């Protein structure tokens, strides 16, 4: 049962989350076209192919960060052109090299997640069979520069340049994936096979997101600054604005700490915002329209940023 103190804590954290997510003068002037919120009727295969598009993106990012090659160039290649389709290219900076990891823990995280995202791609391709779509064109160069500018980080951002940059690049993806799987769960009609599998992938993506947020907080704490967590707040504000051009609801919050009152005290206890959730500690859910707005930067026809030519499949 909630006590007066825990209710007070929830209220304070909730208010702080709202302020953080709406912050950023650069975001206040963005003029993204409104997106329809209604979900059109789709099949389970449509939903799985939408997820496959997102998993192609994540698998390529993490594999390139950890190994320096795309998933189709691994020793055991993962096909990106399937069922007679044509795969798009992966755009990288001309002088691309894998992340020069200095922190063994961050390097291990990158390697683990690369493997898990590769498995997600293979699982979805197998589950879809002849209905699986090929990988669309993916941009991992100008996309980050564009989002960095939108978020007020700067005119350029290279997620492969350092441990910290890699974590911020990963941060951009993981919370979006969590909200996407949450939003898609209610649309799935097969509650016996497909829904449990989707929920299982959602859980792994949530593990990834939590690990990234915790690692970012730990690195900042060790350095005695808020360099990385400050960037997460800008990224979260940008994602929230893209997903909700009208400004509501607020569905994203960056990594930070807030002063709260416990047991009748003054606001002298520190609480973390390592969990990206609402005031009831329930993870946010986004529609496919909202997810598309984020991963394409609100581009016309849902083309842009990470998917310069759009996604493959029905939901695009």
Over residues 11-43, the pLDDT tens digits come to 434 444 444 444 433 333 333 333 434 445 799
Dihedral angle sign, alpha carbons of residues 27, 283, 227, 113 = negative
- 120 near 222, Cβ under 8 Å? no
Residue 233 has pLDDT above 90, yes or no: yes
Neighbours of 211 (CB within 10 A): 18
Q: Specify the higher pLDDT residue, 249 or 233.
A: 233
**Alpha helices (H) along 140-193:** 142-151, 163-185
Q: What is the pLDDT of residues 130-180, one digit of tens each?
A: 999 999 999 999 999 999 999 999 999 999 999 999 999 999 999 999 999
Residue 95 has pLDDT above 90, yes or no: yes
Which region among 34-38, 61-65, 194-198, 269-273 has the lowest average model confidence (pLDDT)? 34-38
121 three-state secondary structure: helix
Q: How far apart are CA 281 and CA 261, in angstroms?
A: 18
- The predicted pLDDT at position 40 comes to 54
97 three-state secondary structure: coil
- The predicted pLDDT at position 259 comes to 76
For the chain, give the percent of residues with pLDDT over 70: 87
Q: How far apart are CA 68 and CA 310, in angstroms?
A: 25
Neighbours of 231 (CB within 10 A): 25
Q: Of the candidates 166, 111, 137, which has an alpha carbon nearest to the alpha carbon of residue 295?
A: 137
For the chain, give the percent of residues with pLDDT over 90: 78
Structure-block tokens of residue 123: 């699982």
Residue 8 has pLDDT above 50, yes or no: no
- 61 near 72, Cβ under 8 Å? no
- 302 conformational bin, left if phi > 0, alpha if psi -120 to 50, beta if neither: left
Q: What is the largest CA-CA distance in the chain?
A: 66
Global pTM value: 0.86
- The predicted pLDDT at position 270 comes to 78
Summary mean pLDDT of the chain: 88
Q: Say how many CA atoms lie within 13 Å of 77 toward its Cβ.
A: 7
> How far is residue 206 CA from its own chain's centroid?
10
- The predicted pLDDT at position 150 comes to 92
- The predicted pLDDT at position 262 comes to 79
Contacts (Cβ under 8 Å, ≥6 apart) of 64: 70, 90, 92, 96, 98, 140, 160
Residue 109 has pLDDT above 50, yes or no: yes
Which region among 33-47, 242-256, 271-285 has the lowest average model confidence (pLDDT)? 33-47
222 three-state secondary structure: helix
Q: Please report where in the chains the tokens 């900076």 appear, as a residue.
A: 93
Residue 110 has pLDDT above 80, yes or no: yes
């Amino acid at each position: 049962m909630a006590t007066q103190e825990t209710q007070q804590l929830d209220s304070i954290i909730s208010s702080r989350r709202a302020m953080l997510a709406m912050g950023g003068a650069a975001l206040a002037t963005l003029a993204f076209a409104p997106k329809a919120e209604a979900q059109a009727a789709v099949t389970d295969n449509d939903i799985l192919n939408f997820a496959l598009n997102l998993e192609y993106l994540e698998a390529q990012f993490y594999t390139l960060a950890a190994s320096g090659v795309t998933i189709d160039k691994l020793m055991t290649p993962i096909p990106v052109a399937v069922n007679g389709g044509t795969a798009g290219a992966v755009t990288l900076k001309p002088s691309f090299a894998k992340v020069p990891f200095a922190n063994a823990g961050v390097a291990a995280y990158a390697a683990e997640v690369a493997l898990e995202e590769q498995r997600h791609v293979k699982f979805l391709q197998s589950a879809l069979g002849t209905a699986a779509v090929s990988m669309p064109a993916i941009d991992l160069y100008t996309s980050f520069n564009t989002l960095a500018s939108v978020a007020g980080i700067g005119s350029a951002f290279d997620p492969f340049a350092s441990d910290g940059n890699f974590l911020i690049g990963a941060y951009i993806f993981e919370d979006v994936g969590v909200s996407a799987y949450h939003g898609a769960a209610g649309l799935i009609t097969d509650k016996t096979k497909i829904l449990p599998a989707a929920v299982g992938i959602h859980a792994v993506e949530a593990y990834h997101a939590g690990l990234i947020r915790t690692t970012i907080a730990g690195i900042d704490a060790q350095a005695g600054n808020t360099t990385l967590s400050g960037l997460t707040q800008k990224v979260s504000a940008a994602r929230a604005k893209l997903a909700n051009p009208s400004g509501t609801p607020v569905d994203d919050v960056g990594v930070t700490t807030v002063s709260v009152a416990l047991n009748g005290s003054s606001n002298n206890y520190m609480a973390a915002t390592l969990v990206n959730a609402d005031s009831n500690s329930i993870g946010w859910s986004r529609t496919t329209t909202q997810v598309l707005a984020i991963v394409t930067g609100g581009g016309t026809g849902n083309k842009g940023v990470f998917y310069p030519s759009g996604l493959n499949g029905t939901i695009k």
